[in-house]
A and B are shown apart, each in its own frame.
Chain A
Amino acid sequence: MTAPGFSPTGIRFENIEKRYGGLAALRRIRFEIAPGECVALAGRNGSGKTTLLRIAAGLVRPSSGDLTFPSATGAPAVSAGFVAHATMVYDELTAEENLLLFARLQQTPNTAERVEKLLHEVGLFDRRDSLVRTFSRGMRQRVAIARALLHEPSILLLDEPSTGLDPQGVAWLAATLRQLRDAGCTILMSLHGESEISLLATRAIRLDAGLLVADTRTGAEVRSILTFADA
């Protein structure tokens, strides 16, 4: 994965709350992710991980609290790249058409070259003219990740990104994320259990019933949080 040309940006959650009617999905979430940090979000199903990621992506408006993106250089934050549970690509378009569409919408410079490069990097260049609906889940996930990286985001948000990937795919994703992390990209990802991808995390945060219950940067505790959440 090529080193992107962005200014590192962090994420600051200040007393974020999200309620759906009477249900509190997130309660007074307060933490800050430094620019270039790689953070794993852990927690059981329904703990609020997806909601937090969708708030960070700007897809869900919090009921209260503030979300800011402090930049190391003071430059305005670019929109985050987001990989969700769903693939967020069109089944009735080819892999190339999907990427070209989103690149045009994001006004990515050198659209055709950027798309071609990403198709090579995710290993789908030979299948670029195939409809996404003919792809396996793992291949669709590769298109989804390519879509999220199109505009070289300074922040990458991933909701269980290894879903559907085979061991080779997981290794590829881990290598890609490592490169992005080393280039200064801020990564916030929800994970279940330990994997090659979780080894990239330098910090782990555990949510439980919408509350932040653990936050650590200590290596052993990071592993412990990720495995505990999966238990």
Chain B
Amino acid sequence: MSLLSSTTALLGKELRTEFRSRELLTTTVVFILMVIVLFSFTFDPTYNESRRFGPGLLWLAFLFAASLMLQPCFLREQNNDTLSALRLSVSDPFAIFLAKLVANTLFLLFTEVLMLPVFAILYNVPVLGVLGQLLLVFFLGSLGVSIAGTALSAISAQARMRELLLPLLLLPLLTPVLVSSTQVTIGLLDASPYVEWKGLGFLVAFDVVFLTLLWLLGEYLLEE
């Protein structure tokens, strides 16, 4: 009960501060939009190329945007040493991570859903028939990115060269998520859509394993 109430209170804080500053959402949306538009204009992919390469491009854009979005996640807590105040206030430090990773997943999902129609129009890929399945992949992929990203953001925030450290740690770690999410999305955008269960299963396993690790080790990541 304490974990749930603390997480709810902290999630409210995360959402309120973001909707006031709109720092993360603006950066992420603009970045993904630029990648999708520039790639479309530069390569002018055909219908078949779009189905084959589009999902990979989309997930690469999501991943790089996420690394931008996750950077200030714990860095913002250092400005006024608010992380110390949180550590002194919560009975379970996992609540700090849980609130942040839920907020990051929501922000990422929001930008992905916003960018999906742009992608569908520019790349001439029909998505309406598989919208539900696509949203499921977006959710599982975004959750994996947010869990690993939130943990690494806590580590990198205390390090020197922190701006460089997060992408250096995050991108290799998330390569399996990128590959699996892309494979599942390719299947869904195929002329005869199918669900790549192996990839979907991997995403679920990744999320469960990393969430458990964060629950077990999170407290140590917050220590000074």
Q: Do A and B come from one complex?
A: yes
Residues of A within 8 A of B (CB): 54, 57-61, 79-80, 82, 84-93, 97, 101-102, 104-107, 131, 147
Q: In whole angstroms, how far apart are the Cα atoms of A70 and B84 in the complex?
A: 24
Known: A92-B21, A97-B16. A59 touches B79 (CB 8 A): no
A88-B84, A89-B80, A104-B9 given; 6 more Cβ-contact pairs under 8 Å: A54-B224, A60-B224, A61-B223, A90-B82, A93-B13, A105-B6
Residues of B within 8 A of A (CB): 2, 5-6, 9-10, 12-13, 16-17, 20-21, 79-82, 84-91, 223-224
Which residues from A are CB-within-8-Å of B79?
Answer: 86, 91
Cβ distance B218 to chain A, nearest Cβ, rounded Å: 16
B224 touches A57 (CB 8 A): no
The 10 A-B residue pairs with the shortest CB-CB distance, nearest first, are A86-B81, A105-B89, A88-B85, A92-B17, A104-B9, A86-B80, A87-B80, A106-B89, A60-B224, A88-B81
Known: A104-B9, A105-B89, A107-B2. A89 touches B82 (CB 8 A): yes
Q: In whole angstroms, how far apart are the Cα atoms of A57 and B17 in the complex?
A: 27
Which residues from B are CB-within-8-Å of A58?
Answer: 87-88
A79 touches B13 (CB 8 A): no
Q: In whole angstroms, how far apart are the Cα atoms of A79 and B16 in the complex?
A: 27
A-B contacts, CB under 8 A, total: 69
Q: Which of B5, B16, B87 neighbours the largest number of chain A CB atoms within 10 Å of its CB?
A: B16
Cβ distance A226 to chain B, nearest Cβ, rounded Å: 25
Known: A79-B88, A105-B86, A106-B89. A91 touches B80 (CB 8 A): yes
Known: A105-B10, A105-B90, A107-B2. A59 touches B17 (CB 8 A): no
Q: In whole angstroms, how far apart are the Cα atoms of A131 and B10 in the complex?
A: 18
Known: A88-B81, A90-B80. A57 touches B13 (CB 8 A): no
Question: Which residue of B has the minimal Cβ distance to A57?
Answer: B88
Question: Which residue of B has the minimal Cβ distance to A105?
Answer: B89
Cβ distance B222 to chain A, nearest Cβ, rounded Å: 10
Q: In whole angstroms, how far apart are the Cα atoms of A54 and B81 in the complex?
A: 12
A105 touches B9 (CB 8 A): yes
Q: Which of B5, B13, B85 neighbours the largest number of chain A CB atoms within 10 Å of its CB?
A: B85
Q: In whole angstroms, how far apart are the Cα atoms of A84 and B82 in the complex?
A: 10
Known: A57-B88, A59-B87, A107-B2. A88 touches B80 (CB 8 A): yes
A59 touches B80 (CB 8 A): no
A147 touches B85 (CB 8 A): yes
Question: Which residue of B has the minimal Cβ distance to A102?
Answer: B89
Q: In whole angstroms, how far apart are the Cα atoms of A97 and B79 in the complex?
A: 18
Which residues from A are CB-within-8-Å of B90?
Answer: 105
Cβ distance A170 to chain B, nearest Cβ, rounded Å: 21
